[in-house]
Structure 1
Amino acid sequence: MTTTLTTEALTLAYGDRTIVSDLSLSLPAGRITTIVGANACGKSTLLRGMARLLTPERGRVLLDGQDIHTMATKEVARHLGLLPQSPIAPEGITVAELVAQGRHPHRRTFARWTAAEDEIVAEALETTGVLDLADRVVDELSGGQRQRVWIALSLAQQTEVLLLDEPTTFLDVCHQIEVLDLLTDLNRSRGTTIAMVLHDLNLAARYADHLVAVRDGAVHAQGSAEEVLTEETVKIVFGLDARVVEDPISGRPLVLPLGRHHVSA
């Protein structure tokens, strides 16, 4: 059965400051959703709420139709994984040890580690291209390598839904494409439902099956990249004057910002 994740009239706040207001969203199962919006619009807060890291002021998050806040922590972790911004690994931990932590939701207390779990961890390391780094300390790796390791941990967790908050932040263009291609491979080979916050509109358009534009803590527009990334929406959501043309590589929308300089007559 395909796992579903939805929000119903979700309101999230930090103290007296409301960040997400009355937001309803359903992630298309087995597809890739990218979430875009201006800084401080509520994108990351929304992901935290969907991952049960924030308690709603109002509304609900439903995992397979059940209120996520009524579910046991391990039960949620067996179905839903989150890769936050700039995750921090325990000091001195090796790649293999970190990825093995992804098996925790599936293990009983004091249960012995099994050969089957070794195979799951090895497969996650191989799939993400970091098997040769298994004995390296995570802190010694490059940014791109570390991001692959964190994704390997998510693979070892074997969840049906994976949420990622800006997985390409601090990566150069080459590593950004590698990470997004890896997530696409995961979606296509395993049918994993993926939702990720991205800053780069053109990468968001290229990799999204479903695109969500958030403005002031609410969904302003959602649908295909062609439906969402119009010049009007870009102006409203980002305050950016731009031209939107067809990407010659993907056929998806390509956003070309208009500044005060370097515009041909």
Structure 2
Amino acid sequence: MTTDHSLQAENLTLGYKERVVINDLDLAFPPARITAIVGANACGKSTLLRSMSRLLAPRTGHVLLDGREVHRMPAKELARTLGLLPQSPIAPEGITVADLVGRGRHPHQRMLSRWSAADDVAVAAALDATHTAELADRAVDELSGGQRQRVWIAMALAQQTDVLLLDEPTTFLDVSHQVEVLDLLTDLNRSRGTTIVMVLHDLNLAARYADHLIALADGTVHAAGDPADVLTEDCVRAVFGLDSRVIPDPTSGKPLMLPLGRHHVMPE
């Protein structure tokens, strides 16, 4: 079991050139739990994750990991505790799956140290968990979108961080692999106590797998808390501009959102 780590944003403002995306945000992520961030396109979800992993410097405010500003921490030290799977990552041309997943071990390499048996074990476990071991010798740029996504997740797992940020980890995956990946992250959280923060587009998967749900709208937090309290018809309307019905999921008991369109709706 990992040690609990605190991760929070204080008075955080983020943007690109003249455009402000996140405005004066205060947010804390429950340690050793799974948090899902949802919201409409361009509401700031990916921007927030980029700043939390120090890829984007704040205009004002701070991102704090265990009380320390992540943007002041040495990169390698931060990478031993906090890992990021960004949206649409790019692999070096011609790199094999095994080599890419092995790069997840870089933060654990000391100066002049050699590849160790522990590194082999971590990479093999990550390949096995993501069902990509049979792809180990293939070039990443030869794989399908779904295969590549699973390989990137394997690299993030090989890093073995206590805090893991994932930006749309189910992108390019069919429904069975989406559930498989989210089950895998749940196993990681329950077995190691890994704090997981992920951006998801599917509201129902977010509500099912998250312990803590955050709904962003216009660069601020519209609602945050237990999925049953956040995923409501009023919240869906306010955040997405969508009328819906929210009912209990007959499988998980979590809230299940049914969108209402102009067609294929039974008359009342």
Is 2:214 the partner of 1:212?
Answer: yes
Matches within 5 A, 1:173-252: 173-252=175-254
Which residue among 248, 257, 260 is the counterpart of 2:259? 257
Do 2:38 and 2:214's aligned partners in 1 also have CA atoms closer than 8 Å?
Answer: yes
- State the Cα distance separating 1:167 from its structure 2 match: 1.1
Unaligned runs of 5+ in 1: none
SS in 1 for 2:61: strand
Is 2:17 the partner of 1:22?
Answer: no
Do 2:211 and 2:227's aligned partners in 1 also have CA atoms closer than 8 Å?
Answer: yes
Cα distance in structure 2, aligned partners of 1:207 and 1:248: 15
Match of 2:119 in 1: 117
Do 2:153 and 2:169's aligned partners in 1 also have CA atoms closer than 8 Å?
Answer: no
Match of 1:103 in 2: 105
Matches within 5 A, 1:4-19: 4-19=6-21
Aligned residue pairs, count = 265
Cα distance in structure 1, aligned partners of 2:84 and 2:203: 22
- State the Cα distance separating 1:185 from its structure 2 match: 1.5
- State the Cα distance separating 1:94 from its structure 2 match: 1.0
Is 2:104 the partner of 1:90?
Answer: no
- State the Cα distance separating 1:218 from its structure 2 match: 0.5
- State the Cα distance separating 1:110 from its structure 2 match: 3.3
- State the Cα distance separating 1:115 from its structure 2 match: 2.2
Q: Please give the per-residue CA displacement for 1:185-209, whole angstroms capped at 9, x wherever unaligned.
A: 2111211111111111111111110
Match of 1:133 in 2: 135
SS in 1 for 2:13: strand
Which residue among 44, 53, 56 is the counterpart of 1:54? 56
Match of 1:160 in 2: 162
SS in 2 for 1:24: strand
Match of 2:173 in 1: 171
Which residue among 70, 80, 83 is the counterpart of 1:81? 83
TM-score by length of 1: 0.97
Cα distance in structure 2, aligned partners of 1:238 and 1:35: 13
Q: Please give the per-residue CA displacement for 1:111-158, whole angstroms capped at 9, x wherever unaligned.
A: 222222222211222222222221121122232322221111112111
Cα distance in structure 2, aligned partners of 1:260 and 1:175: 31
Calculate percent identity across the aligned residue pairs. 70
Equivalent position amino acid for 2:182 in 1 = L
Unaligned runs of 5+ in 2: none
